[in-house]
Amino acid sequence: MPASPRFRKALLPVALAAGLAVTMSAQAEELSYALGFPPNSAADDAAKTFAEKLEQETGGEVTVKLYAMSLLNLAEMSDGVRDGIADIGNVLTPYFPRQYPHANMAAELTMLLALDSRAKGRQGMAYAGAMGEFLLLNCGDCTEDFIEQSQIYLPMGATPEYQLLCTSPIKTAEDLKGKRLRVAGAQWSRWAAHFGASGVSLSGNEVYEALEQGVVDCTIQSNPELGNFGLKDVVTDITVGVPGGVFSGGSLSVGLAPWRDLSTEHREDLLKAASHLMADMTWRYQVYGDRDFEEARESGVNIHEPSEELVQASRSFVEQDIKEIARNYTEQYGMTNADDKIETLRPIVEKWVRLMDTADLSDSEDLANLYWEEILSKVDVESYGL
């Protein structure tokens, strides 16, 4: 029996409201982003930039809700993004060696930076670019590791150069003998052993007390940790330039389902926002590190240059360690063509060192534009992760 005109008229506002709700739902989508880092950290500030840029690029059709130190912690992040607990997450791949061997091998090769004296103060910016270009554009096995975990890889950034933050002077190879060094990765542990020191594994939160109580003599970290963990209150000596390398084992991982649900245009918008995140995070780390280094110097911390003999011996170690890294990943993770992948990565690192040595960068916006032009604009959003 057909509805009466009065009944149809009564239904009209309901239908219009429902249609409007559907339209608004189709136009606006909110993505959840779990950071794993605390509020007001460099990662949190960079995530805010990402959220602002994505909303701006999409005209408000895609927004981001940030969860700093909530929803997922760093140890839960990979599985959490895989299982859809968060749409986006900061995945630190060294936490998950079996899941991301190819990305981890590239991240373990950051001491390649120590072979070149250019791009001082921009080593993290250089390796962030190299990691992004290698993984996204030159290593199908790398991105496939992420897809197997139901997510896509996007570059996250890198720290400044790793140095020796110590409680006694270190200038020569002889000074390193017998020292206990807190290390944050296998490559730095091997470097310590090569020079007769011992590597000690500690969480970042344990380093202050370990230095204060003499459990370790030095920590191999970057300058922002002088402020982040208050190390400038216990460190008395900093040796710059050795061992070198940076931490770059991070992914701005986006779950496959939310990625595939985005339109082609909005996937490109997300990549543009990601270029700002990796630039913002890397730039902030460098700025914070420079600030904390100067504050440490002004407070009386002694700054040392390593002897030329130590620099050359360290570079010789790096060249030999490249072979060790290839062998380890072949034997432990069954990686095929590890040597070939390293040979692909090396000229990309050299390219980014050259770029960072000469680029006219006044702020993170300039860096984001460079990352976009050289890396993220070249990703095929119609096929990547689909």
pLDDT (average), residues 248-258? 97
CA angle 331, 335, 336 (to 5 degrees): 115
Q: What is the pLDDT of residues 323-347, one digit of tens each?
A: 999 999 999 999 999 999 999 999 9
Q: How far apart are CA 154 and CA 131, in angstroms?
A: 10
Collapsing DSSP to helix, strand or coil, 209 comes out as helix
Confidence of residue 13 (pLDDT cuts 50, 70, 90): very low
Residue 7 above 70 pLDDT? Answer: no
Looking at the chain, how many residues does it have? Answer: 386
Beta pairing, strands 163-166 & 237-243: antiparallel
Q: What was the pLDDT predicted at 205?
A: 80
Residue 17 above 80 pLDDT? Answer: no
Q: What is the pLDDT of residues 70-105, one digit of tens each?
A: 999 999 999 999 999 999 999 999 999 999 999 999
Identify the helix (H) or strand (E) that includes residue 218: strand 218-221
Higher-scoring residue by pLDDT: 137, 9: 137
Contact yes or no for 32/88 (Cβ under 8 A): yes
Q: What was the pLDDT predicted at 25?
A: 42
Tokens encoding 151: 């997510």
Residue 54 above 90 pLDDT? Answer: yes
Residue 312 above 50 pLDDT? Answer: yes
Q: What was the pLDDT predicted at 202?
A: 87
Confidence of residue 18 (pLDDT cuts 50, 70, 90): very low
Q: What's the longest Cα–Cα distance across the chain?
A: 97
**Among 318, 355, 136, 160, CA closest to 238:** 160
Tokens encoding 372: 């976009």
Q: How far apart are CA 34 and CA 57, in angstroms?
A: 21
Q: What was the pLDDT predicted at 27?
A: 59
Q: Which fold has domain 29-157+248-300+333-378?
A: D-Maltodextrin-Binding Protein; domain 2 (3.40.190)
Residue 146 above 50 pLDDT? Answer: yes
Kindly report the pTM of this predicted structure.
0.90
Q: How far apart are CA 96 and CA 49, in angstroms?
A: 27
Tokens 């990402």: give the residue.
50
Amino acid of residue 96: F
pLDDT (average), residues 11-34? 59
Residue 354 above 70 pLDDT? Answer: yes
Q: How far apart are CA 351 and CA 375, in angstroms?
A: 13
Confidence of residue 11 (pLDDT cuts 50, 70, 90): very low
Confidence of residue 204 (pLDDT cuts 50, 70, 90): confident
